[in-house]
Structure 1
C-alpha cells in the first residue's frame, strides 16, 4: 500500500486519504500545520482542502501519513540524500584549475609513498594524487560553512492536492496509464504493472501494445480471455510473464510456463495466426524459437495455426512480411502498388508519406491516399506527421534520430525538397482530421506558460520526475543563479561521473567549457571532481546568468569510468535557480525546478539546454538525449561537435506544442458548459468538477 501511495503522490501530486475523521479536535489540526511547515522546507505545501481534511483526522494518523508524504516528496526533489561538495565553500573560493593541480602535485611529491603512486614513468597519474576525487570534509562541515537560505517568493512551491481514497486514486492513475495513446517510459510501465495487480477493472481501450501486454499478465494469471489481435501481442505477453522486456528491444530469457499458461498462450496464438499475420514472425525470429522451446506446441495438435508460427521462426514455413512487400514494390518503381498496399495499413502509409511524395509519382494520388488513411490512423501518428510537415520546408542543421532509450545521432539532411503547396495540402488534411477527433472540452482555460510545452508524442525517453516536460518543450528560467547538479551512488564498481557544461555563442561557435579540467571562468564555477561514489557523490555547476558571455549552455553528464546510468544504484540530474542574495547550501530543495533519474544506454547524458533569447531572457529547452560516447574516459571536450549538432537540430526544430491544440480547439468551438483547465499547475480557485490537464496528464489530450 505504501508503494501505491508514494506512486500516486509522485505522479499526481495528490495525497490519497481513506482514514475516517478523528474524535480528538485540535490535535489533528496541529499535526497538519506541522506537516505543512515541514513540506514548505522542501518546496511543497498542502492545499487548503488537504489541510482541512487532515485537521479532521486523529493526530497520530496525520503524523504517520506525514512521514510517508514527506519521504515521497523529498525523493521527488532529490532531497532524500546528502549533497556534499568537493570544495566546502562552493561556489565561493573555487581555485584556479592549474593552481589546484599544482598544489596537489606538490604535496604528493613531498610524500615518498604518495610520489610512487603518482609518478608512473613516463607520465604522472594525476587522478592518483592523495585527496583527489574524494570528500575532504563531512556534510556537517559543509552545512557549517554556508549561511541559511533566505526564503523568497520566487522559490518553487508545489501544491499537494487532496486525493480520494487509495483505491479510487489508484484506479484513476491506472486508467490514465493503461489507456494512454502514447508509449510509456520504463518507469511508467513498472507503475502500470503495480497498478494492474491492484485494480480489479480496466479501461475499455488499451491502444499501446506494451500496455496491453502488462494488462494481459493479470488476465493470464486470473484465467481470463487475453486481449490479443497479432501474434506479436502473444510474444510480448510471454516476455512480460518472464520478467522480460515487453517492448521487445532486449531478448528475454523465458521461464517455464505452467500447463494452463501454455494452453492459454497457444490458444491465443492460434486465434490470431492468420497467413497475413505470420509475416510479423521473422522480425523476432530468435525470440520465437526460444519461446517455442518453453510452450511445446507439438503437444497441442488441435492448434495447428499456433504451430505454424514456430515453423516460420525456424524457417520451415515461408512468410513474407508486409514491409518487405512494400519495399519490393518501391525498389521496383511500382509506387502505385506500394500505395495500394499501404492503404491497408493507414499508420504505415502516413509514416512513409514523405518518402512516397519524393518517388516521382503523382503527388495528388499519394495525397488522396493519405486523406483516406488519415481517417484510420491513430491520433499520435497524425500529430507526429503534422510536426514533421511543419519543419519540412525550412533548412535544417541536421536530421536527428533518437531511439526508445533516448540514444541519439544526427546526420546531414540529404532529402530532396517537396513543393510548398504539396506540404500545405498534406498539413490541411491532417488539421481537418485532428479537429474532427478533438473532444468537446467545454469552456477552455489555458495557462500561457503551458503553450510552449511540447505535446508528448512518446514518453519512452522521458523518465518521470519533478518538473519534467516532453522533449522540445520550452520553459522560462527565473532567478540570477542557475545551478545544475548530478548525484550518483555506485552499486558494485568504482564509478566516476563528471558533470560538465558546454557553452556556445548564438551561432553555435566559440566554444568554452566548465568541467574537471576547467574549474571556473568569468561567470561559472565547478564544485570539484569526485571519482568514487560508494556512499554517493554530488557535483554542481553554478552559472551567474547576468554575467554569462555565451548564449547557449549545454549541461552534460559524462561517464568517465565505471557503471552505466541504469547499472548504478542511483543516478539523477536536476537544476535549481535562485537569487544571488539567497545564500544557502549548494543543494536547496525548495529551489529545485527539475529533477529526474538518469538512465539509458548512452555514456553521455544531455538532459536539456539553456538558451538566452534576443530579449535577454533565459529559457530551457528539453532534450532527453543520450550519446553513445566511449566505453570510458568521456569528456566534454571530446564530444563538442556531436553535442553541438544534436542540440542545434533540436533547438531549431519547430515542435508541436500545446499552442497548436489550443488553437484547433478554439477553431472547433464548444457547446459544453463544463470547464477544462490546461496549465503547469492547477490553480486553487477552479470550480468543483473542472477537468485539469497538467504536464503529468498531457498525454490524455492526444486524440484516439
Structure 2
C-alpha cells in the first residue's frame, strides 16, 4: 500500500486508539494554559451526544478537551462522534420501506444529557464514575446536581475532605444544596423505558503520551504477532507503517513471525528506499515463498497467494537491481526447499518467472535456474538451457517420461505420504518431525494409522517422545488445532467441517468413515500438548490472575485472514448469550456504487430441534406466525448517498412457542452481485426493550454486534440463534451461490445442514478455547488464580500448593476442582495495586487502582478505564502471546521460584 496522506493517517490512528484502547487523542499543540469558558460550556453538548451513543468522558479527557479553543473542540468532538457513529453504523440514514415498522407491517444538550443519565442509572445503577473510572461502592453511583456528571461516593467524600466538595470535579459547576440528582421522576422513567436493557456507559479516556510513540508501540505489537492478522489489523498495519519514521528498518523486531506481515513491511521499505532496502531483504528473506509474497505485495495485492487474488493480479515490473537482488537471494537458498517451495505455488511462480528472467542469469545463479527448469518441466534435449543439467545437482535427477527428458524431484510431502501408507507409525513420525507444523496438522492422521494397524495398543514410547519433542517447534495455530481435534468426542461416520483457505469464510462438510481414534490413544498426546502450552507460558510472573469461566464459550481464533470486520471481535464458532429481553432486531444496510443496481435481502430461516425447516421471514413472507418475526420491507436497490436498510424483528418467546428452536440470520445478494463490489455493506443486531417499537429505529447505543459484508461472496450467514437457550453462535460464514434470485426457500435445506454441522463442529470440548489459553497462562504465571463464574456470578480462589507441579495446578484449574475458597472480596478489591493477568468476557469489572500487567476483555465496560500500565490484549494477542515455538523455559516440574490474543487445520484422511 502506498504511503497515506498525513490527514488520512491521523484519522486512521484516532480510530485505531478508540477501538483498541477506548482512548482519544487531543492535539497538545493547541492546548490553552487553562480551561476556556466557551469550550467548557460546549462540553455539555458533547456529553449529551456521547451519552446517546453509550459513552462517557472521563475526568482526564474532559479536562484536556476543556483546554481546547471552541473551534478546536468542535473539530475534535465532531471527529470523535463521527468515528463512534462509523463503528456503530449510525453514520447512515436508516429508513424502512414501511414507515411504521413493525406495527404497520404489512399494512401500508443539558436536559438531554440529564435525561440520558437518569435512564442509564434506572436501568443499571452500576455505572462508571467519570472521575476515577470505578463503579460506585455500596451506596451506589449517582449523578451530581445540576450538571448530571456521574460520581462515586468515594470520590465525593475525598473531594469534600479536601474542601472541594461544593463543585463538580469535571466541569467545576457549583453543586446544589442537595448534591445528588434525583433519579425517580416521570422524565427519567420514560427515558429508561425507551433506552431499555441494563446497559453500562463506556468510559473514554485521554490517550497519554506522544501520538508517534503510541503508533510505534502498536506497530511493534502487530509486527510481533505470531498469528495472521485479520482484515482490521491489516488495515491498521498499513496506516501505522505510513506513520513510521525514516529509520523504520532499524526499528523492526529481530523476527516478524507472520510471513504475510513480513512481506507488507519489506514492501514498505522498498517503496521508501529501493536500494537501501536490498540488504534488509537479504537478511530477512529465508524462503522462496517470502519472495513470492513480496512480489504480490509489491504489485498492490494481499500477500496471501490465494488463487482468487492471483486471478485478478497484474504483476508490477521490477527494477533491474531489485530483480538481480531477488535472484541472488533465491540462489542462496538450499535447493531441496527451493524446489519444493516453487512447486507448492507452481502457477504463481510461472508468472513470477516472467518478471525475474532466471535463465538470463543462469551462469551467475545456477541454483534458481535449475529450480525453474524443474518447475517448467523443460525438455532437456530440446531447450538450450538443458545442456547445463546433464548431471543435475542433488537431489534433482534426470528422468525419462513420455519420450521426454526432464528433471525429477521427490519432496517432503511425497516422502511423508509414502511413509504414512506404511503399517509402522515410527517412520512417518520421524519424517514429519522435521517440520513440526506439518506434524501437528497430521497428528490425527498419524494416530488414525496407529489405531487401524495396532488396535488397542498405545502409541509406542519412542514415537510419543518424537512427537512431544517436535511439538516444541510447532506454531500456535497447528498446535491448538491438534489439541482441540484430539480431545473431542468422535464417532464413526461423523460429519467433519472444513474451512478452505480463502478471502472469504467458506465451510464444507463431509462424512468421515475413517478409523476413530480412541480417547486412550489420544490422551498422552493431549497431555503433551497441555504440557507444551504451560512450558511456553512459563517466564512472565504475575502477583495474581483473574480468569473468566465464560471464556470456555470463546473458540480460539482461526482463519483470521478471512474474518469480517466486526464491532465486537467474537471469534468464529463462539457461543454467546443474547441481550436481555424478549425481542431482537436484526439489521442490514448497504449502498450500491453508481450505475450498478444491487439488491440485498435480509432473511431469517427457522428450524425445529431436529433441524426441520419450520418457516421463514424475508421479502416473500414479511410476517411469520403471530407477528413472531416481522420484516421491515424489501428494498430492491440502494442508491447513494443514503443506501437502504432492512430490519427483521424477532419475538424470541413467540418463535419458541410456535415450535422453532433455531433462527438462522442470512444475507442474500438477490441479483448475484458480490459483496466486494458494494460501496458499503454491513449487518448485525440491536437490543430492543419492551417499549422500543419505534419507526424504523436504529439506536446506535443499542447496537450489540455488526459485521462488514466483504469479499467475493453472495450469501452470508452471520449467526445462529438458539431460541431455547437464548444464546447465539457467531458463524461469520459464507456459502457458495450461483445463478442469482437467491432466497431462503431455495437454500433452506443447505442452510439447515450447514448450520447443524457448524453447531456440532463447535460443540463444547471439540475445539481449543480462550479458556484453555487463559488457564495455561494463569497457572504458569501466578501462584493464585481467581475464577469468575459464568455471567459474572461468584468469585473463587485457587492457590498453588507448596511443591505442587504446575501441571497439576493447571489440571485443577482446567477442571474447576479443588478450589481453596469462595472469594468474599470483589475482583476490583483483589486486583488493586497488583501486577495481574486478567481475561474477561465482560469488561463490567470496575477498573482497579494502581493495576498493571495484561488484560483481555471481549465486551467493553468500566474495566476499560484501567491505568495505562495495563497492556490491552486482543484474542489474537492472547493466542500468540507466550505461545512462541521458541519457549523461554523448560517446564518439567517447576517450583514457584523457578517459574515466572483459529486454529484447527483439517488433515487429509485416507
Q: TM-score range by the shorter chain?
A: 0.7 to 0.9
**Map of 2:112 onto structure 1:** none
Q: Give the secondary-structure state (helix, strand or coil) at the position aligned to 1:38.
A: helix
2:603 to 500, 520, 543: 500
On the 8 A contact 1:230/1:273 being kept in 2, the answer is no
On the 8 A contact 1:527/1:539 being kept in 2, the answer is yes
On the 8 A contact 2:715/2:734 being kept in 1, the answer is yes
Q: Check 1:263–1:541 CA distance in 2 against 1; reply closer, same or farther (3 A cut).
A: same
State the Cα distance separating 1:6 from its structure 2 match.
2.5
1:610-689 matches, cutoff 5 A: 610-613=721-724, 617-652=725-760, 653=762, 654=764, 655-668=767-780, 670=782, 674-679=835-840, 680-681=842-843, 683=845, 685-686=847-848, 687-689=850-852
- 1:148-173: per-residue Cα shift (whole Å, max 9, x none)? 98224624644333323322332233
State the Cα distance separating 1:217 from its structure 2 match.
1.0
1:489 to 554, 576, 591: 591
Return the index of the structure with the highest Cα Rg: 2
* CA-atom RMSD in angstroms: 2.6
1:63-212 matches, cutoff 5 A: 63-95=74-106, 150-152=194-196, 154-155=198-199, 157-164=201-208, 165-199=210-244, 200=248, 201-212=251-262
1:258 equivalent in alignment to 2:319: yes
- 1:78-106: per-residue Cα shift (whole Å, max 9, x none)? 1111111111111112128xxx8xxxxxx
**Map of 1:124 onto structure 2:** none
**Map of 1:345 onto structure 2:** 435
State the Cα distance separating 1:396 from its structure 2 match.
8.2
**Map of 1:134 onto structure 2:** none
**Alpha-carbon separation, structure 2, partners of 1:34 and 1:11:** 25
Q: Give the secondary-structure state (helix, strand or coil) at the position aligned to 2:256.
A: coil
Q: Give the secondary-structure state (helix, strand or coil) at the position aligned to 2:637.
A: coil
1:23 equivalent in alignment to 2:33: yes
1:254-293 matches, cutoff 5 A: 254-293=315-354
1:122-521 matches, cutoff 5 A: 150-152=194-196, 154-155=198-199, 157-164=201-208, 165-199=210-244, 200=248, 201-221=251-271, 222=273, 223-224=276-277, 225-226=280-281, 227-249=284-306, 250-251=309-310, 252-300=313-361, 301-316=363-378, 317-331=407-421, 335-359=425-449, 360-361=452-453, 364-365=459-460, 366-393=463-490, 398-404=495-501, 405-439=504-538, 440=540, 442=542, 443-447=544-548, 449-478=550-579, 479-491=581-593, 492-521=595-624
**Map of 1:46 onto structure 2:** 57
- 1:107-160: per-residue Cα shift (whole Å, max 9, x none)? xxxxxxxxxxxxxxxxxxxxxxxxxxxxxxxxxxxxxxxx99822462464433
On the 8 A contact 2:676/2:713 being kept in 1, the answer is no
State the Cα distance separating 1:576 from its structure 2 match.
0.4
Q: Check 1:638–1:375 CA distance in 2 against 1; reply closer, same or farther (3 A cut).
A: same
**Map of 2:661 onto structure 1:** 551
**Map of 1:106 onto structure 2:** none
State the Cα distance separating 1:319 from its structure 2 match.
3.7
State the Cα distance separating 1:344 from its structure 2 match.
0.4
The TM-score normalised by the length of structure 1 is 0.87
On the 8 A contact 2:444/2:485 being kept in 1, the answer is no
State the Cα distance separating 1:59 from its structure 2 match.
3.7
**Map of 2:874 onto structure 1:** 697
**Alpha-carbon separation, structure 2, partners of 1:29 and 1:248:** 53
Q: Give the secondary-structure state (helix, strand or coil) at the position aligned to 2:588.
A: strand
State the Cα distance separating 1:364 from its structure 2 match.
1.3
State the Cα distance separating 1:671 from its structure 2 match.
5.9
**Map of 1:571 onto structure 2:** 681
On the 8 A contact 2:613/2:752 being kept in 1, the answer is no
Q: Check 1:31–1:629 CA distance in 2 against 1; reply closer, same or farther (3 A cut).
A: same
**Alpha-carbon separation, structure 1, partners of 2:584 and 2:493:** 30
On the 8 A contact 1:374/1:382 being kept in 2, the answer is yes
**Alpha-carbon separation, structure 2, partners of 1:619 and 1:37:** 33
On the 8 A contact 2:611/2:752 being kept in 1, the answer is yes
Q: Give the secondary-structure state (helix, strand or coil) at the position aligned to 1:84.
A: coil
On the 8 A contact 1:407/1:602 being kept in 2, the answer is no
**Alpha-carbon separation, structure 1, partners of 2:496 and 2:435:** 26
**Alpha-carbon separation, structure 1, partners of 2:605 and 2:705:** 19
**Alpha-carbon separation, structure 2, partners of 1:13 and 1:268:** 44
Q: Check 1:476–1:263 CA distance in 2 against 1; reply closer, same or farther (3 A cut).
A: same
Q: Give the secondary-structure state (helix, strand or coil) at the position aligned to 1:189.
A: helix
On the 8 A contact 2:106/2:622 being kept in 1, the answer is yes
**Alpha-carbon separation, structure 1, partners of 2:693 and 2:489:** 47
State the Cα distance separating 1:597 from its structure 2 match.
0.4
Q: Which moved more, 1:376-385 or 1:70-79?
A: 376-385
Q: Check 1:4–1:669 CA distance in 2 against 1; reply closer, same or farther (3 A cut).
A: closer
**Alpha-carbon separation, structure 2, partners of 1:157 and 1:700:** 26
State the Cα distance separating 1:332 from its structure 2 match.
5.7
On the 8 A contact 1:281/1:312 being kept in 2, the answer is no
The TM-score normalised by the length of structure 2 is 0.68
Q: Give the secondary-structure state (helix, strand or coil) at the position aligned to 2:561.
A: coil
On the 8 A contact 2:42/2:70 being kept in 1, the answer is yes
Structure 1: give runs of 5+ residues left out of the alignment.
101-146
